[in-house]
Amino acid sequence: MKKFLTVFTLIAALTVFAGVSFAQKGMGPQYPIGVDPAKAQQYCKEVQPLYQKDLQLRGELLTLWAQPNPDWNAIKQKEQERANLRVEMHKKAYEMGLPYAPGGKKGLNIRRICGW
């Protein structure tokens, strides 16, 4: 019985330690291989207002879509504004030498890099 409790306690302690160490790795900015952290931080500072505007437009779009009779012209305008913001963010990434491919695994994950 003592051996069982000792082994069980040891396994529990290792599990907690591993969980804490994995949790710490997931916090804060994470840079892909080959990305200069200084450039990434500068990019995050420059893009943050655009990213916040994109989130605002997304909320407005959800509100427009939720209406019983959606205003299609307003939806089209908001979608175009969001597309322009995303292109601007990718353009800044390209100019700074960061990966900018949209939506792919090799692209720039803004939330991961900037830690937002």
- CA gyration radius for the chain? 22
| One domain, residues 43 and 81 | yes
| One domain, residues 1 and 46 | no
Q: How far is CA 111 from the centre of its chain?
A: 2
| One domain, residues 16 and 36 | no
Given a contact cutoff of 8 angstroms between Cβ atoms, the answer to whether 100 and 110 are in contact is: no
Which pLDDT does position 20 carry in this prediction? 45
pTM more than 0.75: no
Q: What is the mean pLDDT of the chain?
A: 78
Neighbours of 14 (CB within 10 A): 10
**How many structural domains compose the chain?**
2
Q: Which residue positions in the chain have pLDDT lower than 70?
A: 1-28, 100-108
What residues make up the domain containing 68?
32-114
Which pLDDT does position 21 carry in this prediction? 46
| One domain, residues 77 and 101 | yes
